[in-house]
Amino acid sequence: MVSQHPSFSSIVIDDVTIHRDAEGRYCLNDLHKASGGAVKNRPATWLQNQQTIDLAKECEIDGIPSIFAKQGLGTFVVKELVYAYAMWISPSFHLKVIRTFDAVVTGTLQPVNSALPYQPAMKIQIFELAMRALRVSETSKIRMLAKLSESEGINPDFLPDYVDEPLVRAITPLLKEMRSPLFHHVAKTVNPALEAMGILEHLSRKSTGNTIKWFWSLTEEGLKYGRNETSPNNPRETQPLFFVERFPELLARLEAYINPQSLPL
């Protein structure tokens, strides 16, 4: 078993860094790039070979997969499979890989050390954390995935342009359209009431100057009545939008909680 270590040693072949995962496996996609990136030498083609499949089974140690695909990052394999992949590409690349690995082992070539894991992996972890914490809509997820792809130099054209979701609007124009007197009291009365009802919650983030910025977000209960979009003012904030078709139901609950007649004009 390859031990997990707080630092991650990578090997460089022809100016291409061969990244490693937490189990010590090497990125096949980086190796493919180092070999010249020919279409015929893509990792996916090699991985379909029965000989590769059989070798991968033999290389498994203590139940740890010898091949591990990570969405958005590539496919990581143990050292033995690195050699096999390099040999499959060409004798010259195979020799280059062997000599590079041997040079690291003998100390004539120093590996590239990083105190942090492969950066895209960190970005994906942050992305997943944001998805769970902010409960954003499918459309917002696509927008954020597109930005993540662009930041890594990946064309986001593989993502759909949009997700077919119910029509939503902000609460203020919905209240105005339904001629509710609550239209004039969204900030001071409606939002706090929705928070007390368990529909909204107040979240915070750090802003410039180390100040705290507050924003509203729909709770799990609130997601029955709308969805959280990333705010146009700041992608680290959510903007609650409400389903047009379900808003009358929510308004009835809201008016039962607040007596609109008691509000000042």
Amino acid at the residue 236: R
- Structural domains of the chain sorted by starting position, each given as residue range(s) with its CATH number in brackets: 8-117 (3.10.260), 118-164 (no CATH), 166-265 (no CATH)
Q: Which of the residue ranges 8-12, 74-78, 133-137, 166-170 would you say has the lowest mean pLDDT?
A: 133-137
Residue with tokens 């000599």: 99
Give the chain as a DSSP string: -PPP-SSEEEEEETTEEE-B-TTS-EEHHHHHHHTT--GGG-HHHHHTSHHHHHHHHHH-BTTB-SEEEETTTEEEE-HHHHHHHHHHH-HHHHHHHHHHHHHHHHTSSPPEEESS--HHHHHHHHHHHHHHHH-B-HHHHHHHHHHHHHHTT--GGGS-S------EE-HHHHHHHTT-GGGGGIIIIIHHHHHHTTSEEEEEEE-GGG-EEEEEEE-TTGGGTEEEEEPSS-TTSEEEEEETTTHHHHHHHHHHHS-GGGS--
What global pTM score does this model have? 0.43
What average pLDDT score do residues 206-230 get?
86
Query: How many whole angstroms separate alpha carbon 113 and alpha carbon 101?
Result: 15
* Nearest C-alpha neighbor of 32 from the set 85, 70, 69: 85
| Average pLDDT of the chain to the nearest whole number | 79
Q: Which of the residue ranges 5-19, 25-39, 72-86 would you say has the lowest mean pLDDT?
A: 5-19
What average pLDDT score do residues 226-238 get?
80
pLDDT for position 261: 60
pLDDT tens string 141-192: 677 777 777 766 677 776 666 655 678 899 999 999 999 999 999 999 999 9
Q: Which residues, including other chains, have CB under 8 Å from residue 116's CB and lie 6 or more apart? A: 8, 122
Query: How many whole angstroms separate alpha carbon 146 and alpha carbon 151?
Result: 9
User: Residue 89 is encoded by which pair of tokens?
Assistant: 């590409």
The number of beta carbons lying within 10 Å of the beta carbon of residue 75 is 21
Q: Which residues, including other chains, have CB under 8 Å from residue 126's CB and lie 6 or more apart? A: none
pLDDT tens string 76-130: 899 999 999 999 999 999 999 998 888 877 766 555 554 444 556 666 666 666 6
Q: How confident is the model at residue 19 (pLDDT cuts 50, 70, 90)?
A: confident
* Nearest C-alpha neighbor of 4 from the set 117, 81, 82: 117
pLDDT for position 4: 37
- What is the rounded (10 degree) CA torsion for 237, 219, 178, 180? -90
